[in-house]
């Protein structure tokens, strides 16, 4: 079991210039914690701690224990702003998790059984890499598995074809949008005939 924890400090120096100073001089990542029944809270975290946490893909769809000035609270990552060239996190937004209250989160998609359609002469295109779900904090899945083993060439796998884990609802389906997740198509370029 991985330990999803982060330590942070409250920051009072706000604004673009202050955030730049935090990143440049102290190697800190500015962030904001929203939600629950509390006011938004501006915090800062060590950049290396954030980078270490994000090495594990599960951190993006997992409840994280955030300690701010000695007070622990459960949060999920809502958004990350990354440096366009270097890729490190420049700013983070977290949402407080309230037990018994549904939350909305983005969960990665894992495709399995891809060899079967390829053996039948098909090519697979992944249309999405993540799916938005709504569930209670205890039901939040680490990832959504999409099995392509029975997919035929020329077929499209939609959100409605995927079985959601217990207690999990796909947000797009709830809004009436049956999104394509992957498709299996014939190769675009015909193999060259032997001379």
Q: How confident is the model at residue 192 (pLDDT cuts 50, 70, 90)?
A: low
Confidence grade of residue 17 (pLDDT, cut at 50, 70, 90): confident
pTM for the model stands at 0.71
How far apart are the C-alpha atoms of 63 and 131, rounded to whole Å?
A: 17
Q: What is the tens place of the pLDDT at every residue in 76-133?
A: 888 888 888 887 888 888 888 888 888 888 888 888 888 777 777 778 888 888 888 8
φ, ψ of residue 77 to 5 degrees: the values are -75, 125
Ramachandran assignment for 161, one of left (phi > 0), alpha (psi -120 to 50 degrees), beta (any other): alpha
Mean pLDDT of the chain: 82
Q: Spell out the domains of the chain, with CATH numbers in brackets.
A: 3-97 (2.40.240.10), 103-183 (2.170.120.20)
């Amino acid at each position: 079991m991985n330990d999803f924890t982060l330590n942070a400090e409250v920051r009072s120096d706000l604004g673009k210039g202050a955030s730049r100073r935090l990143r440049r001089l102290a190697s800190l990542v500015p962030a904001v914690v929203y939600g629950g029944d509390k006011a938004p809270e501006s915090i800062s975290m060590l950049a290396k701690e954030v980078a270490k946490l994000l090495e594990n893909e599960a951190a993006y769809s997992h409840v994280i224990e955030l300690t701010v000035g000695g007070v622990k609270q459960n949060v999920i990552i809502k958004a990350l702003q990354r440096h366009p060239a270097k890729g490190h996190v420049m700013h983070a937004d977290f949402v407080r998790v309230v037990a018994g209250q549904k939350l909305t989160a983005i969960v990665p998609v894992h495709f399995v059984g891809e060899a079967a359609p390829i053996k039948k002469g098909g090519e697979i295109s992944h249309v999405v890499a993540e799916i938005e779900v709504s569930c209670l904090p205890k039901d939040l899945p680490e990832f959504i598995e999409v099995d392509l083993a029975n997919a035929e060439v020329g077929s499209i796998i939609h959100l409605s074809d995927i079985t959601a884990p217990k207690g999990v609802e796909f947000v797009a389906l709830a809004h009436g949008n049956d999104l394509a997740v992957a498709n299996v198509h014939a190769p675009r370029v015909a193999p060259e005939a032997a001379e």
